[in-house]
Amino acid sequence: MKLFIIYMILSTSILAQIELTQNTLQADSGFSHDKTSLTQFSMLSGEWIGEAFGGIVEEYWTKPLGNSVVGLFKLTSSDSTVFAEFFQLALHNENYQLRLKHFWYDLTGWEEKEEFVTFQFIKKENNRLYFNGLTYERNDDNNMTVYLAMHNKEKKSVNEIVIKLKRKGMELNEELLNADKAFAKLSLESGAAEAFRVYLSEDAKQFPNKRDIISGNQNIYEAMKPNNDSHTLEWFPQEAEVSSSGDFGYSWGFYKSYSKSNPSIINEGKYVNVWKKINGEWKVIIDIGNPS
């Protein structure tokens, strides 16, 4: 796989002068773009993560400052770093160019000392930045798509590689939201008491409406158990956010509780759960309900 990746990426600078794909462009010979401002590349700034080339890809772009933007790319596969790139976006020969060098995990370089791979900038159009054979598209504040034109392994045709990136940290938000959804699903399948027993931490606290705080997983389970067979507690997670440390977060949504024999709603409202990652698993440490 490594040799294939080397070939594909090193051939990009050549390919960009041969053929285009649906989402990539090619500059005409002697092309000179509008050199207005480096700030047009600010949409790239930040940390991004996605999947490509059989592994996890990460990109980091600095904000435009001085006369350049610089960044890093890393491919990780099977828990090992495959290769990394260092790149610079700056004016060269009166045109903005994205120049990059590749390195194996031990910092052995792919290119010779004076060599690098170059993608000439063509234009910015709406939410897209076009380079020769390479396009960056900002879909929204937290999502970006990369289109890369490459020869296939036999070099008989041109393929377009599509890499979908998320702003780093957003994948943890989705992970936590999915944990809350699984928590809610277990409540429907096995009852709320069992779901809370599984998903709450040992020292969790529950804040029931107009009742004393209940502390501890077992005590919360015992308080909920009498209604486990006769009532259903259903909730609908709406949003989750994880702290920058990656081990704390919250989720919120709407809930309703009703009798299984008479499905008329007993109460409904909003809830907030505070979560902590314990031994690699998300656990609720605080459960708060707010009736409508």
- For residues 190 and 118, state if they share a domain: no
- Listed residues 122, 144, 167: the one ending a domain: 167
Last residue of a domain, one of 110, 140, 167: 167
Mean pLDDT computed over 221-248? 92
The answer, yes or no, to whether residue 10 has pLDDT greater than 90, is no
Contacts of 72 (CB under 8 A, 6+ apart): 58, 59, 60, 84, 85, 86, 87
Same domain, 262 and 282: yes
Q: Is the pLDDT of residue 143 over 50?
A: yes
- CA 202 to chain CA centroid, Å, is 30
Say how many domains are in the chain: 2
Q: What is the CATH number of the domain that holds 69?
A: 2.40.128
- 253 and 214 share one domain: yes
Same domain, 149 and 251: no
* Residues spanned by the domain of 163: 2-167
> 191 and 97 share a domain?
no
Same domain, 181 and 244: yes
State pTM to two decimals.
0.63
Q: Are residues 81 and 219 in the same domain?
A: no
Are residues 180 and 199 in contact, defined by beta-carbon separation less than 8 angstroms? no
Are 104 and 227 in the same domain? no
| CATH code for position 226 | 3.10.450.50
Over the stretch 15-58, which tens digit does the pLDDT of each residue have?
434 446 888 988 766 556 656 689 999 999 999 999 999 999 99
Q: Are residues 181 and 152 in the same domain?
A: no
In percent, the amount of the chain with pLDDT more than 90 equals: 66
Asked whether the CA dihedral 164, 46, 97, 74 is positive or negative, the reply is negative
Q: Report the pLDDT averaged over residues 200-218.
A: 94
Whether 90 and 153 map to the same domain: the answer is: yes
Nearest to 251, CA basis, from 281, 271, 280: 271
Q: Which of 124, 148, 167 finishes a domain?
A: 167
How do residues 245-290 score in pLDDT, each as one tens digit?
A: 889 999 999 999 998 888 777 889 999 999 999 999 999 999 999 9
Question: Residue 256 forms beta bridges with which residues?
Answer: 234, 268
Same domain, 42 and 87: yes
Split at pLDDT 50, 70, 90, the class of 228 is confident
Residues 44 and 111 in one domain: yes
**Which of 69-73, 107-111, 261-265, 276-280 has the least mean pLDDT?**
261-265
